[in-house]
Structure 1
Amino acid sequence: MITAYGLLREAAAELDHVMRHSLKRSGLQMAMFELLLRLARSHGEKQRLTSLARELTVTTGGITRLVDRAENLGLVRREPCPDDARGSFAVLTEEGKRRLREALPDHLLEIDSLWMSQLADEREVVLGKLRRVRDNARRWPNGRPSLGPIAPERI
């Protein structure tokens, strides 16, 4: 069990390293690219900052700073949330779409060669299992409830 988790983390770290280096060629940092991608894939090309923070695994302060930088670059704009006076949406701008379109082709090639090509006919099964793991982990945002110690043979 611990080996599987370790391999998952190592694979993710290696992919992240390669992708960060690859995205530098496009002039976008990974966090900015991820922000633009999440917005592009969202309904209306906008999303609440709190939702973006959870999806990008950053703090609310971190998402505020990221959106501030993106806004200063003209990649996103803020819109007030109509049902929450304190909340706001980040909205993808035309410039943000253009920068994403420029970065995406190389990024997709790298994803395919480093990740998707390794899955072959197991792609849908693996993606389904990863979604289940993600969704299960989201049920316990502060860690698993106290269920007692884990038996050594399960490690």
Structure 2
Amino acid sequence: MAMFELLLRLARSSGEKQRLTSLARELTVTTGGITRLVDRAENLGLVRREPCPDDARGSFAVLTEEGKRRLRDALPDHLLEIDSLWMSQLADERDVVLGKLRRVRDNARRWPNGRPGLGPITPDRI
């Protein structure tokens, strides 16, 4: 599931790339955890690393064509699984639940680096 989430987040990112530190924050893993995940993805040819021009210590994970293909192939099964685990159980309430989930998502997007006044959300603060 972590690999799928990594590929999905990269696919949704501008330029299909994202800083490793940002990915760690979004996936709520440590910097060591994201390094290991990106290492595995890179070994499978799903992503490649690109140096960060603003920070010599930082790097980007960039989605490769193979990563896009694998994500495209996995997405239908992933959506079916979500439907069978969640949506089929909520038949009558589906629209209400989806509406509330969208509100939560939209609210979370307003604060990409954490909550105002509380600093960034990091794995050790969850």
TM-score by length of structure 1 reads: 0.60
Matched, 1:62 2:33: yes
- Structure 1 unmatched ranges of 5 or more: 1-29
| Contact 2:17 2:62 (8 Å CA) reproduced | yes
Shift of 1:105: 0.9
In 1, distance between residues paired with 2:18 and 2:122? 42
Matched, 1:141 2:105: no
Shift of 1:130: 4.8
Matched, 1:79 2:50: yes
| Contact 2:87 2:94 (8 Å CA) reproduced | yes
Structure 1 counterpart of 2:19: 48
Shift of 1:126: 3.7
RMSD of aligned alpha carbons: 6.7
Percentage of matched positions with identical amino acids: 95
* Secondary structure in 1 matching 2:86: helix
- C-alpha spacing 1:80/1:121, structure 2 compared with 1 (3 Å): farther
- C-alpha spacing 1:67/1:146, structure 2 compared with 1 (3 Å): closer
Structure 1 counterpart of 2:2: 31
Number of equivalences: 126
In 1, distance between residues paired with 2:102 and 2:12? 17
Shift of 1:142: 14
- C-alpha spacing 1:147/1:80, structure 2 compared with 1 (3 Å): closer
Shift of 1:97: 0.8
In 1, distance between residues paired with 2:85 and 2:32? 32
Shift of 1:40: 0.9
Larger Rg, first or second structure (1 or 2): 1
In 2, distance between residues paired with 1:67 and 1:154? 23
TM-score by length of structure 2 reads: 0.72
In 2, distance between residues paired with 1:147 and 1:61? 24
- C-alpha spacing 1:81/1:140, structure 2 compared with 1 (3 Å): closer
In 1, distance between residues paired with 2:54 and 2:33? 23
Shift of 1:122: 5.1
- C-alpha spacing 1:55/1:128, structure 2 compared with 1 (3 Å): farther
Shift of 1:52: 0.7
For residues 25-51 of structure 1, the C-alpha deviation after alignment (integer angstroms, 9 at most, x for no partner) is xxxxx1111111111111111111011
For residues 30-89 of structure 1, the C-alpha deviation after alignment (integer angstroms, 9 at most, x for no partner) is 111111111111111111101111111110000001101111111000111122221111
Shift of 1:117: 3.9
